[in-house]
């Protein structure tokens, strides 16, 4: 009987069987992964990926698409990022030039080291927690140098979204529920995220005509409308009326910093990352340098490989709190150490394959800092210019303060500074390198990353998720580039996190807004516990974006290889990529 079946029928039956079992998990089509020939955009939200894709299709540069997509994210994902916050961007041009654009918020001129003495809560939320918004200034600065399309063309899609409205996504609704009391406590947030005394629900239309007017003004008149014009005047008035210390002088004198990325070689790949005040680039490189000594990939596989990754994370967190804003603190020695293979070799000697240790073992002198949520985007254009950008307003809905006159949700980035405080026997003191000074930029975990191979673009990766960003980015990078998982599987694999203090391994165990369940296997957890790790289940973590450039099927154009692009948006937040 079976001999009469054609080979085609047999193959179809095998495919059906695979899809009915766990072995074919990623064979079926998922919207979170696409393959495109010309350009690709991966963001936290499908609308923003499409808006960025349309810019590329019109001949826009990767920078053009990053402007449009980032501003879109600020509208449809207002709990995570927006024009009231800041960002870090790694830009790598097709001709080989690479830049790190620092559009991090700065402390106001009236800020001081002890400004929160006796009122620690005002550091975490409210108008006094607001640092100088920087995203628009940074986007415009990089657009001036590399943009191809008109500024207005890039800003207006976000303005139209704010005006016409967007549907509340399941992930945004989760963020609203977790911030419900703060939303109702702030008149500005309450105005657009509630109706008849209740929160908007999943699928409800959210409109913000004030924000639409602000974005339209920025589209027509440029960033001067915010930094030295009517939007800024209204914004400062709202902030000061609510007890904040920002002034027009703070806005007028904000300075975007353009720097050289930190870089390192790993397995024949070159990694480009963000320098301080981000700890992400140096932190990622330190972890990879430690793990490289175990042999790749054999030394990082299984529960033992996960244990080694955790131990490397703990060492990184111990060292990174010595970093700070290099305009205020000399970080040259600690930065050189974090990028040094010799330093990594010394740290590796202190790692045991049989057990973990308490935080003092790792030599950290300072208490950790927990930065919070963010958005990330990855973009590659038809010329193979690439952008990796992480933007933030810090906590969910930032300062939980929406300017009623402008619709701008403000950051609470002042909470990313360390402050002097009482020191107990069980908790290390706060890190002086990250103390508040006027105009200073706080330490960050944001890890926008670009990967090269033999001088050609190989990948773009990054994550949102506060202090867990470095771990999430490292794990996805290793999954694909070291363990050779396909791009979707690299993003879908469950993740673990450690921040040294508390001395706890947080492991994914949750079902996301898309219905996917992520959980570190029980046998792996048991093996980690036998080494002394304390484990805690985590319903959340990082949201990663990944674009992989397939050089194997590429063709050379004026010395630049152009292959297919595979873009993945993390299903944990419900986003999806777009390309053409």
Please write the tens of the pLDDT for every residue from 152-180.
Answer: 999 999 999 999 999 999 999 999 999 99
Q: Name the band, by pLDDT with cuts 50, 70 and 90, for residue 37.
A: very high
pLDDT at residue number 421: 79
pLDDT at residue number 368: 81
Q: Which of 98-107, 354-363, 427-436 has the lowest mean pLDDT?
A: 427-436
pLDDT at residue number 12: 41
Q: What's the rounded mean pLDDT across residues 478-484?
A: 98
Q: Name the band, by pLDDT with cuts 50, 70 and 90, for residue 73.
A: very high
pLDDT at residue number 19: 37
Q: What are the tens digits of pLDDT across the range 115-147?
A: 999 888 999 999 999 999 999 999 999 999 999
Plot region of 264 (φ>0 → left; ψ -120 to 50 → alpha; else → beta): beta
For the CA atoms of 240, 241, 242, 248, the dihedral, rounded to the nearest 10 degrees, stands at -20
Q: Does 416 belong to an annotated binding site?
A: yes
DSSP 391: E
Q: What's the rounded mean pLDDT across residues 332-340?
A: 98
Give me 251's structure tokens.
């806005």
Q: Does 395 belong to an annotated binding site?
A: no
Q: What are the tens digits of pLDDT across the range 218-266?
A: 999 999 999 999 999 999 999 999 999 999 999 999 999 999 999 999 9
For every residue of 13-63, DSSP letters joined together read HHHHHHHHSGGGTTTS--TTEEEESS-EEE-SSHHHHHHHHHHHHTT--HH
Q: What's the rounded mean pLDDT across residues 40-69?
A: 98
Q: How far is CA 45 from CA 48, 67, 172, 522, in A?
A: 6, 15, 11, 32
Residue 10: pLDDT above 50? no
pLDDT at residue number 384: 98
Q: Does 83 belong to an annotated binding site?
A: no
User: In the Cβ-directed half-sphere of 352, how many Cα atoms lie within 13 Å?
Assistant: 12
DSSP 347: H
Q: Name the band, by pLDDT with cuts 50, 70 and 90, for residue 371.
A: low
Q: What are the tens digits of pLDDT across the range 418-464?
A: 998 756 667 788 899 999 999 999 999 999 999 999 999 999 999 99
pLDDT at residue number 23: 35
pLDDT at residue number 68: 99
pLDDT at residue number 422: 59
Q: Name the band, by pLDDT with cuts 50, 70 and 90, for residue 13.
A: very low
Closest CA to 439 of 212, 258, 254, 261: 254
pLDDT at residue number 16: 37
Look at 13 and 103; give whichever has higher pLDDT.
103
Residue 8: pLDDT above 50? no
Look at 372 and 231; give whichever has higher pLDDT.
231
Q: How far is CA 193 from CA 72, 99, 196, 207, in A?
A: 18, 38, 11, 9
Q: Which of 28-32, 72-76, 366-370 has the lowest mean pLDDT?
A: 366-370
Q: How far is CA 251 from CA 70, 101, 359, 362, 553, in A?
A: 20, 18, 41, 41, 48
- pTM score, two decimals? 0.94
Residue 18: pLDDT above 60? no
Q: Name the band, by pLDDT with cuts 50, 70 and 90, for residue 28.
A: low
Q: What's the rounded mean pLDDT across residues 263-287?
A: 98
Q: E-assigned strands of 285-331?
A: none
Q: Name the band, by pLDDT with cuts 50, 70 and 90, for residue 3.
A: very low
pLDDT at residue number 29: 85
Q: Name the band, by pLDDT with cuts 50, 70 and 90, for residue 489.
A: very high
Residue 17: pLDDT above 90? no
Q: What does the mean pLDDT of the chain come to?
A: 94
pLDDT at residue number 427: 77
Q: Does 445 belong to an annotated binding site?
A: yes
Residue 2: pLDDT above 90? no
**374 carries an active-site annotation:** yes
Share of the chain above pLDDT 70, in %: 94
pLDDT at residue number 237: 98
Q: What's the rounded mean pLDDT across residues 98-117?
A: 97
pLDDT at residue number 513: 85
Q: What are the tens digits of pLDDT across the range 183-196?
A: 999 999 999 999 99
pLDDT at residue number 5: 41
> Which residue out of 374, 390, 473, 566 is catalytically annotated?
374
Q: Name the band, by pLDDT with cuts 50, 70 and 90, for residue 367.
A: confident
Give me 184's structure tokens.
């109702």
Q: What's the rounded mean pLDDT across residues 4-22?
A: 39
Residue 36: pLDDT above 90? yes
Q: Name the band, by pLDDT with cuts 50, 70 and 90, for residue 14.
A: very low
Closest CA to 498 of 522, 526, 533, 531: 533
Q: Does 444 belong to an annotated binding site?
A: yes
Residue 279: pLDDT above 70? yes
Q: What's the rounded mean pLDDT across residues 551-575?
A: 95
Q: What's the rounded mean pLDDT across residues 326-342?
A: 98
Q: Name the band, by pLDDT with cuts 50, 70 and 90, for residue 467.
A: very high
User: How many other β-carbons are positioned within 10 Å of the β-carbon of residue 557?
Assistant: 12
3-class SS shares of the chain: helix, strand, coil, % to 5: 40, 20, 40
Closest CA to 394 of 175, 225, 213: 175
Q: For residues 404 and 425, give the distance between their C-alpha atoms in angstroms, rounded to a whole number.
A: 44
User: In the Cβ-directed half-sphere of 60, how many Cα atoms lie within 13 Å?
Assistant: 29
Q: Does 104 belong to an annotated binding site?
A: yes
Q: Does 332 belong to an annotated binding site?
A: no
Q: How far is CA 446 from CA 109, 400, 411, in A?
A: 24, 21, 15
């Amino acid at each position: 009987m079976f001999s009469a079946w054609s080979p085609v029928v047999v193959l179809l039956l095998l495919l059906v069987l695979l899809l009915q079992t766990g072995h074919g998990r990623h064979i079926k089509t998922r919207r979170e992964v696409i393959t495109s020939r010309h350009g690709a955009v991966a963001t936290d939200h499908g609308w923003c990926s499409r808006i960025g894709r349309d810019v590329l299709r019109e001949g826009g540069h990767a920078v053009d698409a990053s402007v449009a997509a980032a501003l879109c994210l600020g509208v449809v994902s207002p709990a995570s990022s927006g024009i009231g916050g800041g960002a870090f961007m790694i830009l790598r041009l097709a001709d080989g030039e690479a830049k790190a654009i620092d559009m991090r918020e700065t402390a106001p001129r009236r800020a001081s080291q002890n400004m929160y003495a006796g009122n620690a809560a005002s550091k975490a939320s409210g108008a006094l927690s607001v640092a100088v918004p920087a995203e628009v200034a940074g986007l415009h600065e990089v657009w001036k140098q590399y943009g191809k399309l008109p500024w207005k063309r890039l800003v207006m899609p976000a303005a139209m979204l704010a005006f016409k409205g967007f549907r509340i996504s399941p992930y945004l609704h989760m963020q609203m529920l977790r911030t419900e009391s703060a939303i109702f406590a702030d008149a500005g947030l309450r105005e657009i995220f509630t109706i008849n005394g209740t929160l908007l629900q999943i699928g409800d239309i959210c409109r913000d005509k004030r924000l639409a007017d602000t974005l339209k003004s920025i589209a027509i008149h440029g960033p001067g409308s915010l930094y030295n014009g009517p939007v800024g005047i209204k914004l400062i008035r709202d902030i000061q009326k609510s007890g904040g210390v920002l002034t027009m002088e703070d806005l007028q004198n904000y300075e975007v910093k353009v720097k050289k990325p930190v870089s390192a070689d790993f397995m024949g790949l070159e990694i480009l990352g963000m320098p301080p005040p981000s700890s992400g680039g140096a932190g990622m490189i330190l972890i990879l340098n430690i793990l490289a000594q175990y042999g790749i990939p054999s030394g990082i596989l299984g529960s033992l490989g996960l244990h080694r990754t955790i131990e490397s994370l703990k060492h990184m967190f111990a060292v990174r709190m010595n970093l700070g804003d290099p305009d205020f603190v000399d970080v040259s020695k600690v930065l050189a150490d974090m990028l040094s293979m010799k330093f990594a070799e010394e740290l590796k000697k202190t790692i045991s394959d049989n057990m973990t240790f308490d935080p003092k073992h790792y030599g950290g002198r300072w208490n950790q800092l927990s930065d919070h949520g963010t958005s990330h985007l990855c973009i590659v254009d038809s010329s193979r210019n690439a952008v990796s950008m992480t933007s933030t307003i810090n906590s969910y809905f930032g300062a939980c303060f929406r300017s009623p006159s402008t619709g701008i949700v403000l950051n609470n980035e002042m909470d990313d500074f360390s402050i002097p405080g009482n020191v107990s026997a069980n908790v290390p003191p706060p890190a002086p390198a990250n103390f508040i000074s006027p105009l200073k930029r706080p330490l960050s975990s944001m890890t926008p990353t670009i990967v090269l191979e033999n001088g050609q673009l190989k990948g773009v990766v990054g994550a949102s998720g506060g202090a867990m960003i470095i771990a999430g980015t490292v794990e996805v990078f290793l999954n694909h580039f070291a363990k050779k998982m396909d791009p979707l599987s690299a993003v879908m694999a469950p993740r673990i996190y450690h921040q040294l203090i508390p001395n706890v391994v947080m492991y994914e165990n949750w079902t996301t807004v898309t219905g996917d369940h992520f959980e570190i296997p029980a046998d792996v957890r048991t093996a980690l516990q036998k080494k002394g790790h304390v484990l805690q289940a985590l319903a959340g973590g990082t949201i990663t974006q990944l674009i992989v450039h397939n050089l194997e099927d590429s063709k050379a154009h004026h010395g630049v290889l152009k292959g297919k692009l595979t873009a993945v948006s993390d299903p944990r937040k419900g986003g999806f990529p777009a390309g053409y």
